[in-house]
A and B are shown apart, each in its own frame.
Chain A
Amino acid sequence: MVTNTALKTEVNDETLRQQLESAVVRFAGDSGDGMQVTGGQFTLSAALAGNNLATFPDFPAEIRAPVGTTFGVSSFQINFGSRVIKTSGDEFDLLVAMNPAALFVELKGLKAGGVIILDTGSFSERNLRKAGYQNNPLEDGSLSGYRVIGLDISQLTLDAVKDFGLTNKEALRCKNFWTLGYVFWMFANKRKETVEWLRKKFAKRPEIAEANIAALNAGHALGETSETADGFQGFTIPQTEQAEPGLYRTVMGSEAIAWGLATGARLAGLKLTFCSYPITPASSVLHTLSNMAEYNVTTFQAEDEIAAACAAIGASYAGTLGVTSSSGPGIALKGEAIGLAIGIEIPLIILNTQRAGPSTGLPTKTEQSDLYQAVYGRNADSPLVVLAARSPANCFDVAIEAVRLATKYMTPVMILSDGYIGNAAEPWLIPDIDSIKPFPVSFRTDPENFHPFVRDEATLARAWAIPGTPELMHRIGGIEKSYDSGHISYDPENHQKMTDVRAAKINGIAKDIPPQTVEVGPERGPVAVVGWGSTYGPINRAVTNLLDMGKTVSHIHLNNIWPLPTNLGALLSQFDKILVPEMNKGQLLTVLRSEFLAPAVGINKVTGQPFKIRELEQAILAEMEA
């Protein structure tokens, strides 16, 4: 039964709010309904209220799919609360559905007894049909297991903004802020930051800003002054405990990568040249860096993926830090150029924001299925360094480490991120860059005994001599080089030696990376759950929950995919069972089996959606009992 609201006789009593440790809210509407903006503003407000949080923007590949269709539904999920939040949450406590299609698509993710806010004004015959409903769910009893708050949001918004002289279309665009105001009331969040954001965003059209603010306030006011039939008074979430003291902000993975690259280049004493070609979901890194000229960043939008990789290599050859970025299909195109960078042993960072594939696959959906491509995906024996980021904030540290390794060892480094990490946000204790140890690059200038492939004995890195340096003129290229002179060499023994030294250099990096640690759980025992990348959150929470239940299980999470940490084999041998959850068909699994002959078992999911904590708990338990 739909609960409509009626005017209250008294103002809300805050003590009547239902207290939650954490809550999962999913905003869902048409692509044009502004759900991502709404979610972003809710995130900001929740963060400023001192909540821990994680977000998951989940939107269609189409920019504006036909209105009212299920494939045009754009959603934003946030999990926030007082305990440490590690994922964007499993089932939602609250679903905001701006139209029947959003309800149709998202209802299955709502907790039994969860709250639905929906815009009854959009539940027309036509919209119901487009969404695939035979009967109106508001009338057929199918929502009886939920707490439904049906509001004619469209009409309420029109009423709220009628004095601002907007067209009907413009007025209806304020719907999302009306709804946000209502949800703010529901969680007792503050509106101030959103009001400021709207005034800044629409500085050139103040009437739009003020209309949205009026809608926001009206939505909030309705919550305050109306009552639901069952007396529901909203939720309250206590402030986060245990957070490390310091200054915080929210950060998205794509921002953290961009800032980390710029910071890494600064620590290396290099300018950054970022060369990319637009591709979903990697482009936001290019957008962020394009605004960073003042931090010694040059960006180049190339004509294609290959040109982007080649320009980045050219930029490194000339003495800046070349970086190229893409998603899986684009990385495939860059393969030959990456091989050249391996052959000429030049620093290069390749960022892969993975998405579901093969081919175009699901461009806006996440997957971690490019591990084989990163580690093995080139012609010939062509090793490079592969690092994986585990969370949005972790992208910052991984980017810096990538720059350190690339410049110290004169090698390409591939960073694996994914669509989830790139778009998701989490709170971040802002680091002090001055406290990070710099790793300045020294270009070769001494002509004594110089040749381009003269190596450092410890690191096996070749000398980096850049054009413009007197007396060091030399020629390099893709043809095999003589170990002893750097000249072209077709000598069979020399090729063996050069292939060996390229591999030895990369393998040797294992000594320069942190040893593998155990995240939670014992260092030896019956079960280790081994993950990498964005599965960190769900694995960690699932393992923690199992530990709380009295089970003995450990979580190991890899940041270094290649070379692997030197102690990993010994560490894994301490466990009877090794489970490897991955959003692919078992790629790290293969690597662990082949490198360590480890009896590992995969837990695999490729739906384009992150793992849920509960499904991991169940899968781990099933394997433990098997």
Chain B
Amino acid sequence: MNVVTPPAKLTAKDFATDQEVRWCPGCGDYAILKGVQKTLADIGAVPEKTVFISGIGCAARFPYYMATYGFHTIHGRAPSFATGVKLANPELDVWVVSGDGDALSIGGNHLIHLLRRNVNLQFLLFNNEIYGLTKGQYSPTSRAGTRSPSTPLGSVDNPLSATLLALAAGARFVARAVDSQQKHLPGVLTRAHQHIGTSFVEIFQNCIVYNDGVFADFTAKDKIAGSQIAVEHGKPLVFGADGKMGLHVKPGAFEIDVVEIGVNGITENDILVHDETNKVLATLLAGMQGPAFPVAIGVLYCDPAASYEQGVEAVKERAPSHNNGDLNSLLRSGHTWQVD
């Protein structure tokens, strides 16, 4: 009797290459690599149809460690290479890996246009608020006053919010995760993969050498419950060790505030319910900062629309055919004359 053996399901390890990983010991990138490899196994990704594309920086070494197709390109331009790949072959499953300098400084323009076009791929921004590979200069997400080799007296510039930028650029999927929260990260990545269009995921990543602990105020184990809110579509926006803290529309104002259920007459009915299709709410969630507010993680916004590739294909189908693709006919169209 012939038995067709189904192809063995790949595990996270099957997505690892034989290349020695060259991040600093303790770097948050290791955790993200692990999370991505687990996600690919979970979703049943096909290695030969998967492409990791990166720019320059510590995060950009990522493709070398994935047993898929990988393209390590130039600083800031990964979105453009990825757009070309998707235009050439929309069937490929593309992941772009970038960092805060790569995506928001040198490559800011490309990120904006990737998002507004809504190219169908996953964009992972490893945000460590510092330039790691060039040895520790402040980045566009560094908080004002950051001391670094290039700003010994503290940086002057205001930081950029990656998620607010993404929303403003027209992203249809905006999410956040934390490198070390391995139970949460693969779920967000799986959602990002399911989404058609550009899925923008900001991952808070700790740089142990140049910016250690910069997110500790909401990622340290003892801070998570009180300083993070993991949002889920259709569920109340509550946080805190016992889930009694929540977000609520401030009466008489167009803003939200933090309330405690059972205090000042607040009940569960007063707590906002997350609607990931609501861009205004997503913008409010993306803008929340500690210590007054918890930092929102999870899928802040997801409101699918046609992808760029779908649009391009639709336009091609609408294009009038002049001579069924026959180039000889094209060259002979218009005014010609015969010389005998």
Q: Which residues of A are at the interface with B, using a C-beta cutoff of 8 A?
A: 44, 47-48, 50, 193, 240, 243-250, 259, 262-263, 266, 271, 273, 275, 291-296, 298, 300, 302-304, 306-320, 322, 336-337, 340, 430-434, 466-479, 487-488
Contact = CB atoms under 8 A, between A and B. Distances in A.
27 contacts: A50-B339, A193-B335, A246-B338, A247-B332, A249-B331, A262-B327, A293-B315, A293-B319, A294-B325, A306-B77, A308-B80, A310-B77, A310-B81, A314-B85, A315-B85, A317-B81, A317-B85, A318-B88, A318-B89, A320-B89, A322-B84, A430-B336, A433-B331, A468-B92, A475-B64, A475-B70, A476-B72
Interface stretch (B43-51, B177-185, B252-260, B298-306): B43-51
Contacts of A50: 337, 339
Given A300-B87, A434-B328, A474-B69, 17 more contacts: A47-B335, A247-B332, A248-B339, A249-B331, A250-B335, A293-B315, A303-B112, A314-B71, A314-B83, A315-B85, A318-B89, A322-B84, A322-B88, A430-B331, A433-B328, A468-B49, A475-B19
- 6 closest A-B pairs (Cβ-Cβ)? A314-B84, A477-B72, A311-B84, A475-B70, A310-B80, A318-B88
- Name which of B70, B73, B312, B328 has the most chain A CB atoms within 10 A of its CB: B73
Contact of A295 (B92, B327, B335): B327
A478 B48 CA distance: 21
Contacts of B74: 310, 336-337, 340, 478
B92 to A, nearest CB: 5
A295 B336 contact: no
A259 B327 contact: yes
Nearest to B322: A294
B95 to A, nearest CB: 12
A48 B337 contact: yes
A310 B113 contact: no
Contact of B84 (A303, A317, A431, A432): A317
A240 B74 CA distance: 54
B289 interface: no
Nearest to A243: B339
A296 B325 contact: yes
Contacts of B233: none
Given A473-B69, A474-B70, A294 B324 contact: yes
Nearest to B70: A475
Contacts of B85: 314-315, 317-318, 467
A249 B316 contact: no
A476 B71 contact: yes
Contacts of B327: 259, 262-263, 266, 295, 433
B84 A273 contact: yes
Given A294-B324, A433-B328, A473-B67, A306 B80 contact: yes
B243 to A, nearest CB: 44
A476 to B, nearest CB: 6
Chain B binding site: helix, strand, loop or mixed by DSSP? mixed
A435 to B, nearest CB: 10
Contact of A313 (B56, B81, B324, B325): B81
Contacts of B312: 298
A477 B63 contact: yes
B208 to A, nearest CB: 23
B66 to A, nearest CB: 8
A102 B84 CA distance: 46
Given A263-B327, A307-B113, A340-B73, A473 B48 contact: yes
Q: Which of B17, B64, B70, B330 has the most CB of A within 10 A?
A: B330
A475 B72 contact: yes
A469 to B, nearest CB: 6
B310 to A, nearest CB: 14
B337 A247 contact: yes
Contacts of A271: 88
A431 B330 CA distance: 11
Given A473-B69, A475-B64, A476-B71, A275 B84 contact: yes
A308 B71 CA distance: 17
Contacts of A467: 48-49, 51, 69, 85, 89, 92
B39 interface: no
Contacts of A240: 339
Contacts of A322: 84, 88
Contacts of A243: 339
Most buried by B among A275, A300, A307, A433: A307
A313 B89 contact: no
Contacts of A318: 51, 84-86, 88-89, 92
Nearest to B112: A303
B292 to A, nearest CB: 37
B174 interface: no
Given A303-B110, A430-B332, A314 B72 contact: no
Contact of B336 (A244, A248, A300, A488): A248
A294 B319 contact: yes
B48 A311 contact: no
Contacts of B51: 318, 467
B242 interface: no
B48 A471 contact: yes
A320 B88 contact: yes
B71 A475 contact: yes
B64 A488 contact: yes
Interface centre among B113, B328, B337 (most CB of A within 10 A): B337
B328 A307 contact: no
Given A307-B110, A313-B84, A468 B337 contact: no
A434 B328 CA distance: 8
B321 interface: yes
Nearest to B48: A470
Interface in B40-63: 47-49, 51, 53-54, 56, 63
Contacts of A44: 335
Contacts of B339: 50, 240, 243-248
B73 A310 contact: yes
Nearest to A427: B337
A307 B77 contact: yes
B16 to A, nearest CB: 12
Nearest to A193: B335
B87 A259 contact: no
